[in-house]
Amino acid sequence: MTLINKVITGILNPLIGLMFAIAIAIFIWGIVEFIWNSGSEDKRTTGKQHIIWGLVGLLIMSAVAGIIQIIKNFVQF
């Protein structure tokens, strides 16, 4: 196993998983906040922002995971 594979499996994959979990938690919290505060427009706006940033985080982490997989496949001969 090469050094790059060890770094990817030992450090980057768990880190990406943690970031996915954080992004999902922010997304779900935004949905909950949006529903609970249906009477307050300010708090609904905050909930919308959390939903958007959670989705942005998921998109970024998906892209990072894909780029890491491409690099991993490229380095392996």
What is the domain partition of the chain in residue ranges?
11-69
- For the chain, what is the mean pLDDT? 88
pLDDT of residue 1: 62
pLDDT of residue 62: 92
pLDDT, tens only, 19-51: 999 999 999 999 999 999 888 899 899 999 999
**Alpha carbons 52 and 23: distance in angstroms, whole number:** 10
SS3 labels along 12-50 = HHHHHHHHHHHHHHHHHHHHHHHHHCCCCHHHHHHHHHH
Q: Which of 19, 22, 27, 24 is nearest to 65 (CA)?
A: 19
Residues 6-28 have a mean pLDDT of: 89
**Does the pLDDT of residue 5 top 80, yes or no?**
no
pTM of the model: 0.78
